[in-house]
Amino acid sequence: MTTTPFTTGRRGALAQGMTLAWRSLVPLRNELGRLIQFVLQPVFMVVVFALMFGAMSGDPDHAARYLMPGVLTQVTLISTNITGMNLAEDIVNGVFDRFRSMPLARSAPLIGRVAADALMTTATIAVALVAGVAAGFRITAPPLEALAGVALLLLFTLALSWVSAWLGLKAKSVASMQGMATAILLPLTFGSSAFIPPANLPSALRWWSSVNPISHLADAVRALLLGTPVGPHVWVTLAWAAAVTACFVPLAVRAYARRIR
């Protein structure tokens, strides 16, 4: 049996995507375990990195100011895994088989999945910020500048969510998707300036940190939250986000189209 793909305009695809995003969020009311995970994960990251590592540094206040933006960066990056894992799970559960017979734009299910996860990521950032403030971290930048830092985090997370979506559509299982995402995120996160100043790294790692997009993201967020000079980091981060989005949105849509044939 063959199906004729349904085509619609960009507005129609966006409207369908938002509807699917809402349908993805509604069941969370009955999934207490996932809600607890979204709350506990950022709190745990704040305790481990901002408090424990900060105490080990000998200057907890200075360490918290440096580490907390790195924690926010890592928490949001980890949250992008959810997009690919949910898509991989949808494949296993036959959700795409049902989409095949529905009058949906090809991009609508992906837009819905990314949008729903972006809302959850926003909540995760809020929890991490509250936990950080409770732990002693203080945002010293003007409100609009601090909001720009959070917006930059979300924008970059949206870009990486499309990478995660592509991986999820290519993966054979949820476990393989998680493994691929971890293999990508670990060197990006821990090889960046999110937690360690580049000057304290060995020369080879210092070079990697200097070209690592996560370093630019963490440094930009740190500067925007603390009110320090941002340098080129915001523009470099925006350029990376635009390039990743331009590359992986069509790749993800094409991978989805192959899945529903």
pLDDT confidence of residue 182: 87
Tokens of 57: 């540094």
What is the rounded average pLDDT for all residues in the chain?
83
Cα–Cα dist 84/93, whole Å: 14
pLDDT tens for residues 113-145? 888 888 888 888 888 888 888 888 889 999 999
Element (H, E) at 229: none
pTM of the model: 0.85
pLDDT tens for residues 236-247? 999 999 999 999
pLDDT band at 167 (very low <50, low <70, confident <90, very high): very high
For residue 13, count other CB atoms closer than 10 A to its CB.
21
Contact status, residue 88 vs residue 171, Cβ threshold 8 Å: yes
pLDDT tens for residues 215-224? 999 999 999 9
Instruction: Provide the H-helix boundaries in 107-193.
Output: 108-134, 143-170, 174-190
pLDDT tens for residues 19-54? 777 776 666 666 666 667 777 888 888 877 777 776
pLDDT exceeds cutoff 60 at 1: no
pLDDT tens for residues 80-118? 888 888 888 877 777 776 766 666 776 777 888 888 888
User: Over the range 53-84, which residues count as b (16 or more CB within 10 Å of their CB) and which as e?
Assistant: bbeeeeebeebbbbbbbbbbbbbbbbbbbbbb
Cα–Cα dist 100/84, whole Å: 19
Under DSSP, the state recorded for 30 is G
pLDDT tens for residues 189-201? 888 998 888 888 8
pLDDT band at 2 (very low <50, low <70, confident <90, very high): very low
Question: By C-alpha distance, which of 107, 128, 105, 109 is closest to 117?
Answer: 109
Question: Helices (H), strands (E): how many in the chain?
Answer: 12, 0
Cα–Cα dist 156/215, whole Å: 12
What angle (nearest 5°) sits at the alpha carbon of residue 69, between those of residues 64 and 75?
115
